[in-house]
Structure 1
Amino acid sequence: MSTRVRMPLVMVFLHLLFSATPIHSDQNVVPLKTFKISENVTYDCINIYKQPGLDHPLLKDHTIQLKPSVSKPELKNQTGNNKTYKRKMGCPDGTVLILRNSKEYINNTKLYTEKYFHPLTGDSHGTHIAGVRSRDGPYRGVEGWFSLHNYNIGRDQASYTQIYIGSGLNNQVNFIQAGWMINPSVFGETNHWSYGFWKSKDGKGCYNTACPGFVQISQEVPIAQPLDQPGEDVLHYSIHQDKRTGNWWITKLIPKVPNIDIGYWPKELFDLMDTGANMVGVGGAVQASRQGSSPLMGNGKFPDGGTRDSALFADVKVVNSNYEHRRIDYFPLETLLDSPKFYWLRIGKVKILGFFFTYGGPGGNSCYNVSSSTIVYSD
């Protein structure tokens, strides 16, 4: 497999992705039940038909889809741990979990997108990535296992692990991204959180439910939450387009537990992904401070050991235009690595892990973008 470092299109996507300023929809509906997770994190059980996500102007005639047309099979005992998954929250029937959006949270999100997060350009070396992608669409979905890691970073830094799918045309972009992040500028703390991000056809978008658009369906797992589940050290997420409705679902898959269809981004939000997306990808990303200091990526270690020594993506698959699941390297694959002095990427293929790669690094100051070949190997 040939390895290429291709940055220009990534710069465009990252600029479009993170330059959006989210809007806010007030939650005026009285919750039926409330879960206070910590001093600053509260979830409300809101009537599913009165949830704030439906306030988006593009969704005024939207009909809620209560479950995907086709559900993924339940995982038995694949990659991951075998410990019992304990549900911490559960809303009554007819309600869904919604993170209470405080003014501070909304302001933090706006501040991050407007000021702290600057795109990867020749004048601004703030964003650094390590991952793989394919632009041989159309694609109907992407999924993969990825390891969880928590650590302290600076207030104006961020570290991500993500799966994403999107389409671009000229200066327009439709984009959906999900995974985990450590982002004190958004969440006000250094804990790692699950998250989702989207950018729609009206040029707007946001994280999680900080503005209308995402439709929450699960009564137990919200789109964004602190990831402190005991024994949970990997996540398995799937983003896929529903074959019947065209909506884009996000599903959490857990060994020995029924799959959790968290919710979806309605098809009405997008105009470039009606028949699928032209790009899918997975990987890690970081955002440096304005002083130029880049944080840890992955677990902060270079991938120069075994699969358990650094951050891991495993069994990465995409759904093609015919809704068939294929390993991502079945399609033309690009490797993205812009700062090999501070972050590495190693690719492998073994039966138990499918297509996988390890990635990450300690970061540092002045992580300037230079070309480098990625280490490619097989076990």
Structure 2
Amino acid sequence: MELVVILLSLMFSTAIAHSTQSTVPLRSFKMSENVTYDCIDIYKQPGLKHPLLKTHKIQMKSSVSRLELKMQTGKNETSNKRKIGCPNGTVPILRNTKEYVTNSQMYAEKHFHQLSADSPGTHIAGVRSSSGPFRGVQASFSANSLNVGKDQVSYSHIYIGSGSENQVNYISAGWIINPGLYGDQRVWTFGFWKGKDGKGCYNTACSGFVQVSKKIPIVEPRDLKTGVPGWVRYSIHQDKNTGNWWITELMEDAPNEDIGYWPKELFNLLDNGANMVGVGGVVQASRDGLSPPMGNGNLPNAGRLDSGLFTNIEVLNSNYDQHKMNDYPTENLLDSEKCYGLRIGTVKRFHYTRLGFFFNYGGPGGISCGV
């Protein structure tokens, strides 16, 4: 009997150690060799352990209704169907390894944001507006398999932010290829935030983000075929009632899914909206100066589907009215014309109007893309 008790105790402690969560998961989903999601009690999820959230009450659904996507941007060949379906009352949390948490902290420290000074080796191509306050931004954008080195990063995202003197509040979401962080060259969805304490965090690698959806986690790999894009359709918006900042995945053939939110308590410059919103691609070169590809690796010199693409780029103004981003003054961002490009969309044919405000971007990268 004593031996049985010892064995059970060992099994229980092993389960806790492997989950790296504060509670034993009700169910787990192993997506691949190194990717497992644990279904954690929504009230015991790691995001709520942030010291600023001691009295936070979970919001189950956004009070802002996002418009359904009205057009087909391209054939979505992403091969990972929705395989996660956590039981009611639980949410999927990526099982973190110590290496992943450590790497997340390292990359978060040097994560580039458009309110910062220029970052050596970082290159951008996109559009932003600083004519806030804005309550949100949304876009559809292509995700592509790329050859990105272990010490390189390539991602495309939508973002909001506000800055004051030396303080920055910032939220970003999209897709990313970062072998140094995730341990592979796959495309991953991601969310990143930087708050009032001056620190930032990816996904659920540390506390702060509150996962609400039981089937779509804030971070997940997308297995894409080379040369065939998938699509990410995201909205970041401030809740009317609570002030929390939600990320919603916009669907074409299903109801939109509120993935979760960054609580208002994390920020001190976003109470009344964000001063800046933007969309675009970003790359980080390796230490030897070699810059990775951006978008799908092609310069935007051909058709609209032949390079990286952002479509239906829209913002919410201070009154929560939805507009195309170019209804406001916008700034084009491109710092390395040798390696990357940016081409703002123009309406030449009737069907292009379905793209709303759009642009093509990206390029192959290279060894001499500038500082």
Query: Normalising by structure 1, what TM-score?
Result: 0.86
Q: CA deviation at 1:151?
A: 1.7
Gaps of 5+ in 2: 1-18, 348-352
- Assess if the C-alpha contact under 8 Å between 2:127 and 2:331 holds in 1: yes
Deviations for 1:326-357, whole angstroms, at most 9, x for unmatched residues? 11011111011000000000001331111110
State the identity %. 63
Deviations for 1:17-50, whole angstroms, at most 9, x for unmatched residues? xxxxxxxx95221100001111111100000000
**CA distance in 2 between partners of 1:198 and 1:268 (Å):** 13
* 1:364-379 to 2 correspondences below 5 Å: 364-368=366-370
Deviations for 1:119-168, whole angstroms, at most 9, x for unmatched residues? 9867x631000000000000000000101101221100000101000000
* 1:147 is aligned to 2:139: no
Aligned length: 344
| 1:329 alignment partner, SS class | helix
- Assess if the C-alpha contact under 8 Å between 1:80 and 1:255 holds in 2: no
* 1:94 is aligned to 2:89: yes
Q: Which amino acid aligns with 2:356?
A: G
Q: Which amino acid aligns with 1:223?
A: I
- Assess if the C-alpha contact under 8 Å between 2:108 and 2:202 holds in 1: no
* 1:11-160 to 2 correspondences below 5 Å: 27-75=21-69, 77-81=71-75, 86-113=81-108, 125-160=120-155
Q: CA deviation at 1:234?
A: 1.2
* Paired position in structure 2 for 1:262: 259
Gaps of 5+ in 1: 1-24, 370-379
Of 173, 193, 198, 1:203 maps to 198
Q: Which amino acid aligns with 2:73?
A: T
- Assess if the C-alpha contact under 8 Å between 1:116 and 1:289 holds in 2: no
* 1:186 is aligned to 2:188: no
**CA distance in 1 between partners of 2:110 and 2:68 (Å):** 42
Note closer, same or farther for the CA distance 1:82–1:310 as it changes in structure 2 (3 Å cut): closer
* 1:360 is aligned to 2:362: yes
Deviations for 1:35-81, whole angstroms, at most 9, x for unmatched residues? 11111111000000000000001000101000011322434544344
* 1:180-259 to 2 correspondences below 5 Å: 180-228=175-223, 233-259=230-256
Deviations for 1:350-377, whole angstroms, at most 9, x for unmatched residues? 31111110000010112115xxxxxxxx
* Paired position in structure 2 for 1:316: 313
**CA distance in 2 between partners of 1:121 and 1:241 (Å):** 26
* Paired position in structure 1 for 2:334: 337
| 2:221 alignment partner, SS class | coil
| 2:345 alignment partner, SS class | strand
* 1:340-351 to 2 correspondences below 5 Å: 340-350=337-347, 351=353
Q: CA deviation at 1:228?
A: 2.4
| 2:102 alignment partner, SS class | helix
Query: Normalising by structure 2, what TM-score?
Result: 0.88
- Assess if the C-alpha contact under 8 Å between 1:134 and 1:279 holds in 2: yes
Q: Which amino acid aligns with 1:368?
A: G
Deviations for 1:283-335, whole angstroms, at most 9, x for unmatched residues? 00000001110000000100000101000000100100000011101111101
| 1:146 alignment partner, SS class | strand
| 1:365 alignment partner, SS class | coil
| 2:185 alignment partner, SS class | coil
**CA distance in 1 between partners of 2:147 and 2:277 (Å):** 29
Q: Which amino acid aligns with 2:161?
A: G
Of 269, 275, 280, 2:277 maps to 280
**CA distance in 2 between partners of 1:308 and 1:100 (Å):** 36
Deviations for 1:202-245, whole angstroms, at most 9, x for unmatched residues? 11220000000000000000000001279871111000000011
- Alpha-carbon RMSD across the aligned residues, in angstroms, is 2.3
**CA distance in 2 between partners of 1:346 and 1:288 (Å):** 23
**CA distance in 2 between partners of 1:167 and 1:264 (Å):** 18
| 1:352 alignment partner, SS class | helix
- Assess if the C-alpha contact under 8 Å between 2:62 and 2:239 holds in 1: yes
- Assess if the C-alpha contact under 8 Å between 2:187 and 2:224 holds in 1: no
* Paired position in structure 2 for 1:304: 301
